[in-house]
């Protein structure tokens, strides 16, 4: 039997960032993670930090390496019809930027800080049940080294991703979910080659979407739209590079190639649960919502959720006020829906939908031309991309 103030299930960006924010406030937490430390620190995910996400990580004391190694970007490039169109995001957002820094690196930094501080973080520890969420002392039961342990807490946070136990522990009549599955997936690669661009490239091509991102001055991250039923075995390195070059082609631009070190296919979905609270159990990050990766909002939403939760829990422990806890779900979901729309919009703007008819394709072309030429459209793209600040009630 163990006891803490806040039991956090899942050591992804949501759980680890929350544990760090709570530690800064002097609130105890225990983090339970089903996977090994090596697995969690190797998982390759997206890599764009919104302006606010960067600030939160720095203010929490987890931003030292991010400030040294993160690549600050002021714009992105859209490509279609073999032409490039820059969107100068900082110009449209009063100087705001995004930082290219792998989610994997964020996770490594947060794990290091927690381990160095000697604060409780259990790997290879799978939560098997969450009980008593409708009482004042919920319990997470977890399995670690063949032993079953009961972790008693004031609050439980389900930060355990889409397939976790957190959302499943809410009675079915207390939660509803909304989902959209897209008819395409992303083949993502990591390659030991300097990026062929200074800013991220998002390209639309008749063969499908392609994008060029990066992790460092010597490592590139690139993606290709593929069919969800496709298999990485069908994609030799040579085929990947030639398809990337074809889909992103503009006159005079060359794509540098190099050894591919990671290859995977990820399906795309939008998913939103509500509400995100059941008694003393709160959901955050991918446990609560999924966005398609176009626009890279997943990590940023997770950090926004736990920033609200940290404020709400701090308010509770300082003053006994439950206001923040009561408002959490509604406040978090306003941002989630805004990001869901933006991610959907970026996705439909740039991908080739196999089910699209002539009308849909004509609208997409018109939309691409509009975004490339209108300051109003670029302002909208930019403010969503760098990330909206607090979204007040009634605004969205
Ligand atoms: N017990 C303990 N841990 C669990 C359990 C369980 N029963 N089930 C799942 N987990 C762990 C997973 O192993 C994973 O490490 O919860 C963690 C959830 O982490 P993420 O999936 O990274 O989710 P989150 O922290 O919400 O981060 C959201 O990650 O998936 C990306 O694109 C997404 O950027 C977004 C971000
Ligand atoms: C990434 O770097 O992995 C990345 C960047 C931007 C996106 C998605 C993924 O929109």
CA 57, 58, 60, 66 dihedral sign is: positive
Identify the pLDDT of residue 396.
Answer: 46
Stated pTM of the model: 0.97
Three-state SS for 108-130 is HHHHHHHHHCCCCEECCEEEEEE
Residues in the chain: 396
Could you confirm whether 385 is annotated as catalytic? yes
- The answer to whether the CB of 126 is under 6 A from ligand 1 is yes
Instruction: Give whole-number Cα distances, 352 to 2, 207, 224, 229, 264, in Å.
Output: 52, 7, 11, 16, 20
Question: Atom 10 (ligand 1): residue with closest C-alpha?
Answer: 160
- Count the alpha carbons within 13 Å of 210 in the hemisphere toward its beta carbon: 20
The pLDDT tens digits along the chain (396 residues) read 999 999 999 999 999 999 999 999 999 999 999 999 999 999 888 899 999 999 999 999 999 999 999 999 999 999 999 999 999 999 999 999 999 999 999 999 999 999 999 999 999 999 999 999 999 999 999 999 999 999 999 999 999 999 999 999 999 999 999 999 999 999 999 999 999 999 999 999 999 999 999 999 999 999 999 999 999 999 999 999 999 999 999 999 999 999 999 999 999 999 999 999 999 999 999 999 999 999 999 999 999 999 999 999 999 999 999 999 999 999 999 999 999 999 999 999 999 999 999 999 999 999 999 999 999 999 999 999 999 876 555 544
Question: Atom 8 (ligand 1): residue with closest C-alpha?
Answer: 164
Identify the pLDDT of residue 44.
Answer: 86
Which residue in the list 73, 212, 289, 351 is annotated as catalytic?
73
Query: b/e per residue, 228-253, with b = 16+ CB within 10 A?
Result: eeeeeeebeeeebbebbbebbbeeee
Which residue in the list 74, 205, 297, 351 is annotated as catalytic?
297
Identify the pLDDT of residue 390.
Answer: 60
Which residue in the list 92, 101, 182, 202 is annotated as catalytic?
202
Identify the pLDDT of residue 322.
Answer: 97
Q: Residue 29 C-alpha to ligand 1 middle, in angstroms?
A: 17
Could you confirm whether 180 is annotated as catalytic? no
Cα 180 from Cα 348, distance rounded (Å): 13
């Amino acid at each position: 039997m163990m006891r803490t103030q806040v039991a956090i299930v899942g050591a992804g960006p949501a759980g680890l960032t929350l544990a760090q924010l709570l530690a800064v406030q002097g609130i105890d937490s225990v983090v339970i993670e089903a996977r090994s430390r090596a697995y969690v620190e190797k998982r390759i995910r997206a890599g764009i930090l919104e302006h606010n996400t960067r600030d939160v990580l720095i203010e929490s004391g987890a931003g030292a390496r991010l400030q040294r190694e993160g690549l600050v970007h002021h714009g992105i490039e859209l490509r279609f019809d073999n032409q490039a169109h820059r969107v100068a995001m900082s110009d449209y957002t009063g100087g705001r930027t995004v930082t290219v820094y792998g989610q994997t690196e964020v996770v490594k930094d947060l794990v290091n800080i927690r381990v160095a501080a000697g604060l409780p973080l259990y790997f290879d520890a799978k939560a098997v049940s969450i009980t008593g969420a409708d009482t004042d002392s919920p319990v997470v039961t977890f399995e670690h080294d063949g032993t079953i342990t009961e972790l008693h807490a004031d609050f439980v946070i389900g930060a355990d991703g889409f397939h976790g136990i957190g959302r499943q522990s809410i009675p079915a009549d207390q939660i509803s979910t909304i989902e959209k599955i897209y008819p395409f997936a992303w083949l993502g690669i990591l390659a030991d080659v300097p990026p062929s661009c200074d800013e991220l490239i998002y390209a639309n091509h008749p063969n499908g979407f392609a994008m060029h991102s990066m992790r460092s001055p010597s490592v590139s991250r690139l993606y290709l739209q593929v069919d969800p039923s496709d298999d990485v075995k069908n994609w030799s390195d040579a085929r990947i590079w030639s398809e990337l070059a074809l889909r992103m082609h503009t006159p005079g631009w060359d794509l540098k190639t190099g050894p591919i070190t990671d290859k995977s296919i990820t399906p795309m979905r939008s998913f939103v649960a509500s509400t995100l609270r059941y008694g003393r159990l709160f959901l955050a990050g991918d446990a609560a919502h999924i966005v398609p990766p176009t626009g890279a909002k997943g990590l940023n939403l997770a950090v926004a959720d736990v920033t609200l939760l940290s404020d709400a829990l701090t308010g509770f422990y300082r003053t006994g006020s439950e206001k923040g806890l009561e408002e959490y779900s509604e406040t978090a979901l306003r941002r989630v829906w805004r990001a869901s729309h933006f991610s959907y919009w970026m996705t439909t703007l740039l991908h080739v939908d196999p089910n699209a008819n002539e009308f849909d394709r004509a609208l997409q072309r018109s939309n691409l031309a509009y975004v490339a030429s209108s300051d109003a459209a670029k302002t909208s793209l930019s403010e969503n991309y760098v990330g909206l600040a607090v979204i007040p009630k009634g605004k969205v």
